[in-house]
Structure 1
């Protein structure tokens, strides 16, 4: 299981590699490039599933629908 994901800001394109929480969903993330507050897209459980290079640990382990039910 991968615990780091590279988030890409849809506004400015800035990328940052972040450690993903294993025990909670991260609904918001503030871009370190432009300060935009990113939130999970409809249908996604967290910002890593919406903007990351790797989905969150619960999705990696159990598939879509396994996180934050």
Structure 2
């Protein structure tokens, strides 16, 4: 099992602003305010957090779950 990536770039679906953020390993982030336009992002239906919905990496718990199922 590999280590989870802890940084991800969130892209706002409204304005396209991209911001690199550090993801928490012990909690889901349910709200994220875009630093470009101020839109409050919420997870899409079926996603656990904003990183799973709008970032280039899913959150660490999802990464670990996927890694465990590959082995």
Same fold (TM over 0.5): yes
Question: By percentage of residues, which structure has more helix?
Answer: 2
Give the TM-score taking structure 2 as reference length.
0.87
Match of 2:65 in 1: 62
> In structure 2, which of residues 12, 15, 19 is the aligned counterpart of residue 16 of structure 1?
19
Query: Which consecutive unaligned segments of at least 5 residues does structure 1 have?
Result: 64-69
Larger-gyration structure (1/2): 2
TM-score using structure 1 length: 0.89
Q: CA RMSD in A?
A: 0.5
Give the gaps of 5 or more residues in structure 2. Answer: 67-71
